[in-house]
A and B are shown apart, each in its own frame.
Chain A
């Protein structure tokens, strides 16, 4: 088996598919963040809604991805988006909701009540408390949720090749169809590498956005 030869012969296509893959995942995580983080914060203010929202996100996550693509197909077909990148991105956004909403919710809930009390008592508005205390304290855990979502999406996006979304899943899908081992393994290697790189990148981001005071606190506690 000549994997290196495969990459040498197909490097342009490999780059293109990798780019496509990254793009789908990046867009979906971005959209999922815009939706999930505000929902996660909003449900900390309402205990009943919190249980419902988190359970719904749980159900979504337990649905197998192939099944979800299948379920969305007839609905999106009405708008002419049954196949391709649009249903893939939508599915990825939905899958990302659980880790993002759950982590945001837990992180905000875990802000020590005396900090909220002090902020309130000193005359911070609830918006200001959110911005200056709750979010800065929650951000490491929120980013950890994004990290889980991004890594998971890289895997699911590979499956989205079956509904014509493109990306590195194409190598795996075509490789299986053509019984072309180098292609299957080449695709798998690229997907794995991507997941490892994104994971490391998000870990770095987590460290960059965490306040020094909180890092010191963690270091002292452990």
Chain B
């Protein structure tokens, strides 16, 4: 856990001073990834660099796991914290293995343990150890170098990571890939991470919480959903963008808005006449046809009218189904692409769990923006 208590950083002396970080207080809970977001010059990097004492604190305290960093030996402190930067900073004179081994060697791990750890990390970051270990940084693509940078920062298994725009130097496509991989790794490792970025999309995607800075001050510290739905002031509203309702679709998961166990579900073995009767009775416009809990398609009253067979024979398959964990942005994208107002939701084993419709999504958004709307009336 990292605690910032009234942390202030003033550069320069006399009249020529700049307050880069102004009285910032925030906690990063153990196992959480917090993104520091803001335009350049807002103090986010300065705050990060004070955490491992690359910069000294002018006033206030930074406490890591109960210990005040100013009372610790700076070199030892840094060895215990992972550090990754935008320019990656791989040592060009060292092989990939030697780069990853930097901190374990500083901590005097034996060579065997270091070697095993390096292979484990390369595997974790999807770089084949046997082919990458002995290569030099210059032989790797930008994306591969970023991965090695991440591996190096994880090498000694630090509990805390400081990352300064760690995926900033690569193209958007590779960035997306490495972000997803990093999230997958973080899901397992549960490190406590301070992550600097100026990219709102990255902040929303990566952060358990987002700390937004303006002119050295912390202006809002909340979960991405709250930042997007209840920005504290105009500055934040502008920063997150006019399309924040769309951005919110990127973080809300299907399971939060879907209709669980809807009534209009029939078994594939039922007879069409029976199904038609049920549908007319309940005035269903369509029914989901299940076979062994899996949705195989849907039927409409019109399609059933002249049939007399098992309903699965005439069920029209869904062009697409979504998982409960999908974000609404993907769900909506499918709705638009396939011209569907309702999509079947399944669990990871493709078992039917519910339905999601445009109405559900709209209703959910109206609920979370309700406060906003009232203010504007």
Contacts and interface: CB of A to CB of B under 8 A. Distances in A.
A211 B135 CA distance: 12
Given A136-B93, A211-B93, A114 B87 contact: yes
A213 B106 CA distance: 21
A117 B85 contact: yes
Contact of A120 (B78, B92, B137): B78
Nearest to B153: A122
Interface in B302-325: none
A118 B83 contact: yes
Interface in B74-98: 75-81, 83, 85, 87-95
Given A125-B75, A217-B138, A118 B89 contact: yes
Contact of B136 (A112, A117, A216): A216
B89 A117 contact: yes
Contact of A121 (B83, B95, B138): B83
A114 B103 contact: no
Given A123-B75, A123-B79, A212-B136, A118 B93 contact: no
A115 interface: yes
B103 A122 contact: yes
Contact of B78 (A123, A213, A214, A216): A123
A217 to B, nearest CB: 4
A199 B95 CA distance: 30
B27 interface: no
Given A123-B76, A220-B138, A214 B83 contact: no
A123 B103 contact: yes
Chain B at the A interface: mostly helix, strand, loop or mixed?
mixed
Interface string B37-61: 0000000000000001010000000
B102 A122 contact: yes
B152 interface: yes
A178 B214 CA distance: 85
A221 to B, nearest CB: 9
B238 interface: no
Nearest to B48: A121
Contact of A213 (B85, B93, B152): B93
A137 B102 CA distance: 16
A89 to B, nearest CB: 34
Contacts of A120: 54, 78
Interface of A: 112, 114-115, 117-125, 128, 132-133, 136-137, 211-214, 216-217, 220
Given A118-B91, A217-B92, A220-B138, 19 more contacts: A114-B89, A115-B91, A115-B92, A117-B54, A118-B83, A118-B88, A118-B90, A121-B54, A121-B83, A122-B83, A122-B102, A122-B106, A122-B152, A122-B153, A123-B75, A123-B103, A132-B94, A211-B92, A211-B93
9 contacts: A112-B89, A114-B89, A117-B89, A122-B152, A123-B76, A125-B75, A137-B92, A213-B137, A220-B138
In the A-B complex, the 7 residue pairs with the smallest Cβ-Cβ separation, listed nearest first, are A118-B89, A123-B79, A213-B136, A121-B83, A123-B78, A114-B87, A211-B93
